[in-house]
């Protein structure tokens, strides 16, 4: 699986905007879906989706729907927020990785 580096900045920026501009979930999902559409048009692939790894030790494959569900869940909200905060920093091990498959 290949880290789609061309989408890391856009996705990180969407997370940063969400965290620092009022936590507008609709805007975050709209931004991520726009990036998804770009990947669909430029990479292609049947039934493919963007998914994320939040740092080098993340063992999950989190997609846009997971993010939306987690941000509206009392149980998972703080976990996804901490993951998003982690990847907008500058530490190398905390880099966001974006995949498309």
- 79-99 pLDDT, tens digit per residue, is 999 999 999 877 767 889 999
pLDDT (average), residues 26-43:
96
Q: Taking 90 as the threshold, does the pLDDT of residue 20 lie above it?
A: yes
Mean pLDDT computed over every residue of the chain:
92
pLDDT value at residue 94? 82
What letter would DSSP give residue 101?
-
Question: Where residue 56 falls among pLDDT bands split at 50, 70, 90?
Answer: confident
Q: Is the pLDDT of residue 28 over 70?
A: yes
Domain of residue 81: give its range.
5-100
How far apart are alpha carbons 98 and 3 in whole angstroms? Answer: 5
> How many independent structural domains does the chain possess?
1
User: Of 58, 68, 62, nearest to 95 (Cα)?
Assistant: 58
Q: What are the strands of the beta sheet with 96-100, ordered from one edge?
A: 62-63, 50-54, 96-100
């Amino acid at each position: 699986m290949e880290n789609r580096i061309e989408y890391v900045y856009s996705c990180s920026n969407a997370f940063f905007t969400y965290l620092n501009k009022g936590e507008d979930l609709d805007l975050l999902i709209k931004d991520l879906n726009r990036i998804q559409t770009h990947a669909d048009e430029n990479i292609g692939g049947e039934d493919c989706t963007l998914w994320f790894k939040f740092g080098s030790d993340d063992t999950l494959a989190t997609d846009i729907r997971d993010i939306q569900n987690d941000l509206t869940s009392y149980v998972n909200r703080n976990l996804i927020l901490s993951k998003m905060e982690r990847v907008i920093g500058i530490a190398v091990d905390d880099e966001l990785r974006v995949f498309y498959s």
